[in-house]
Amino acid sequence: MDTPLLTQIAAGRPGAVEDFLRGYGNAVWGLARRFCRSAEDAEDATQEILVEIWRNAARYDQNAGSELTFVMTIARRRLIDRARRLGRRPQIELLQEASELPGEPAKFDAAEFDDEVRRAQAAMLQLRPEQRQVLELALNEGRTHHEISVAIGIPLGTVKSHARRGLIRLRNLLGVAQPEQEGDLE
């Protein structure tokens, strides 16, 4: 197994930061841009997230999950914390209308990433279309359950149900949870 870039950063290897940015920078930037109102805000958020990750690089354990998962978990949570702190919500104008959402997740070349990412992409394809639609709006666009309910015209309780079941199923498909919970609970 290759030495993780975060481990290399913690060890001070020259060039590791640039390699890290080329590997994960656009993923963080892409999410930040969706969650922030302006490019300047997104740059602030991206720098805030990456500085924190780099400062804590030695705490990454590759046995616990991929670097990408580690980075994006922190990025997503920090973006939510930041928006709550600043009293700002994601820029809805930037986002697609719900009716334009693709029926199937778009494919991308994941060859440069690890197995965990490829498994996640395959797992997403196993979710129900309505679960994917709700998760897309909740996780990638930062919309509240209430906003999703209004956007796609289904009751709030159904939105919550699709979101919960979809996320729990995705987690189970990724092999994190107990086998007996692997089925769809609906």
Partner 1 sequence: MSEAHLDTLADAVLDAWESGAQVDFATAGGDPAICAELAGLERAAAMYAAIGAMRSTQVAPMRPAFFEQLVAAGNEIAKAPALPPRNAPLLGNPVSRQPRWLPFLVGAAAGFLGAYVALSPADGEPPSRMREEFLVRGNYAKIDWKPGTSHSYGSVHGDVVWCTQRQQGFLRIDGLQPLPQGLQYQLWIVDADRTGAPVDGGLFDLASGNEQVVPIHAKLPVREAKAFVVTVEKKGGVVVSEQKDVVAIAGI
Q: Could you give the string, one character per residue 109-148, with x where binding to partner 1 holds by CB under 8 A and - elsewhere?
A: -------xx--xx--x----------xx-xxx-x-xxx--
Give the whole-angstrom CA distance, residue 148 versus residue 137. Answer: 7
Q: Could you give the string, one character per residue 39-78, with x where binding to partner 1 holds by CB under 8 A and - elsewhere?
A: x---xx-xxx-xxx-xxxxxxxx-xxx--xxxxxxxxxxx
Cα 54 to Cα 20, 74, 100, 149, distances in angstroms: 10, 12, 37, 38
Give the whole-angstrom CA distance, residue 69 versus residue 137. Answer: 19
Residue 2 or 121 having the CB closest to partner 1: 121
Query: How long a stretch of residues is the chain?
Result: 186
Q: Could you give the string, one character per residue 7-36, with x where binding to partner 1 holds by CB under 8 A and - elsewhere?
A: --xxxxxx-xxx-xx---xxxxxxx-xx--
Residue 121 or 158 having the CB closest to partner 1: 121
The reply to whether 81 sits near partner 1 by the rule CB under 8 A is: yes
